[in-house]
Chains A and B, each alone.
Chain A
Amino acid sequence: MEVLSVRDLSAAYRKQIVLERVSFQVHEGTLTGIVGPNGAGKSTLIKTLLELHPKVTGEVRFFGSTLKEMKHRIGYVPQRGTVDWDFPTNALDVVMMGLYGQIGWFKLPGASHKKKAMDALERMGMAEYASRQISQLSGGQQQRVFLARALVQDADLYFMDEPLAGVDAATERAIMATLQELKSRGKTVLVVHHDLQTVDQYFDHVLLLNRTVVHHGLTEDVFTYDNIIRTYGGAIRYRKGDEPVAHPAI
């Protein structure tokens, strides 16, 4: 059974079609990178899948069922830029927010939830910052807290929107180690990624997106020079080992 099955998905943004006939399937236990140029619809894709953005056409199935039924098995790490960092809260609190869906209405988080949150922070190496106000954390630390918040949901399928953007090298390593660990435990992760140079290093599968799916599959098969050019329209410079450099199209 496919963990995620997308068929003919389309979405619009301000009267422009940004996703067109997107179709692909994701298998369990894979780590997929979603890449494409700016405006290719990568963020919109995730938002549309999670019904945070309206779709024009298409069908999406999670674990063979609908989003509503499977919500508890899905974790989401949105872009860091959408949050108010001056909000009066600390790292532990932020992680506990990931459990609010599980805790339900009218109940407050209890000791067990707190422990879960601390464990998640521990996994991301942020345990000592638990009571630190979030505005005092660096970009990398904030991202780790966000990841901890996703981990605490103990989901089977994770969506992450540019989790490595603007983080330091150590954080990047820590995050990728966590994703690998998730994969080894049979979880599935889809990541919107911004850096072409590291795709084959980090992801076993890749989805090349430019308004529609240019190609999708195993990185070693699909992440080729030709496919990259087709995705980016030739407007990039890409160098890998001895392969030729793509010339920017004017």
Chain B
Amino acid sequence: MEGRSGTEKGMSLLHILLSSNTQWVLFSTLLLGTASGMMGCLAYWKRQSLMSDALSHAALPGIVITFMLIGHKHLLLLILGAAVSALLGALLIQWVTLASRIKEDAAMGIVLSVFFGLGIMLLTIVNRTVSGNQGGLDSFIFGQAATMVRHDVQMMLLLTLVVIAIVVTLFKEWKLFLFDPDFARGIGMPLVPMNILYTFALVLTIVMGIQAVGVILMSALLIIPAVSARYWTRSFGRMIILSSVFGGLSGAVGTIISALGKGWPTGPFIVIVAAGLFVISILFGTQKGWLIQRLELRENRKLAKGSIASHQSRPVLREEEG
């Protein structure tokens, strides 16, 4: 990398962008980021941001077992295996939380690490017995979008569209379901099917995203763009859109950057781009950004001292939030 002249570097970037294989990969990470951004918003308001971390780790044994059964890297089946494993993890977390005094955070930690441990146990065995083919499995840990081929991308396109469709067509229902489930139940919304649909879409997003970002960092793509969007808007709809944009941007730009180096994993770079967007949002965001808040706080202090200095204040006439 060092010692290249400016034009040479520019050429290689251009070369990257023009390569059709990279274009497919770029397209797929763009889609992935978009879908993750969307689902991330739902997860955030459901207060289950870290669940995605637990589920993505839980997907590993499913991937390895599927590989052990079929003997080669068949993307659709591996994704299926990942999904089954993740869903099992989700069920286990629910069960443990509901049926014992173990709280949700501990249950997540247990499923996350034990399932992942099982996955590594099996992966180690696979790596010892199979040669060559299994190289693709390691990429699930950190993501290696570059190993994806056109066929894979087309399938991901389909799955991403499914996720987007689920979020968009049921927009009003999601809004209600997330903010006021009791009221939703009261007006007859079937909460259990909604929960199932949500979990299904989440797991789908996770198992797809694992290829680009890997098991460990998948939760980043679900959490960071959504949190960033909060600093720019208070509207749920706009948050979803913004989060998708941030996610997609992170996916694309991160992939481009990682392509600049040989064998660099895509995952960490995508996450860093997302984090960069987050830092910008937290500093300059119009809704609760640091800059805006400093100005508001100064105003508030003046107000407080002002009304205290002035004549007697009047008590509140309406109930406020405690």
Contacts and interface: CB of A to CB of B under 8 A. Distances in A.
Q: Answer yes or no: do A and B interact.
A: yes
Interface in A25-67: 37-40, 43, 56-57
Nearest to A208: B315
Contacts of B301: 56
Interface in B279-322: 296-297, 300-301, 303-305, 307-308, 312-313, 315-322
A17 B103 CA distance: 35
B288 to A, nearest CB: 11
Contacts of A43: 322
A10 B316 contact: no
Nearest to A12: B304
Contacts of A135: 101
B300 A230 contact: no
B209 to A, nearest CB: 35
Interface size class of A (residues with CB under 8 A): 20 to 34
B315 A230 contact: yes
A235 B304 contact: no
B100 to A, nearest CB: 10
A21 interface: yes
B308 A21 contact: yes
A235 B318 CA distance: 8
Interface residues of B, number: 21
A234 B305 CA distance: 28
B319 A39 contact: yes
A235 B315 contact: no
B307 A20 contact: yes
A211 B317 contact: no
A191 to B, nearest CB: 18
Contacts of A37: 316, 319
A212 interface: yes
Contact of B317 (A12, A38, A214, A233): A233
Given A10-B304, A12-B300, A57-B308, A211 B313 contact: yes
Nearest to A13: B322
A38 B319 CA distance: 6
B319 A56 contact: no
B105 to A, nearest CB: 13
A86 interface: yes
A212 B103 CA distance: 40
A142 interface: no
Contacts of B308: 8, 10, 20-21, 57
B320 A249 contact: no
Interface of B: 101, 103, 296-297, 300-301, 303-305, 307-308, 312-313, 315-322
The 4 closest A-B pairs by CB, nearest first: A39-B320, A210-B315, A233-B317, A86-B101
12 contacts: A8-B308, A12-B304, A16-B320, A17-B304, A20-B308, A20-B313, A38-B319, A39-B320, A40-B315, A57-B305, A86-B103, A210-B315
Given A16-B320, A20-B304, 7 more contacts: A38-B322, A39-B316, A43-B322, A56-B304, A210-B315, A212-B312, A233-B315
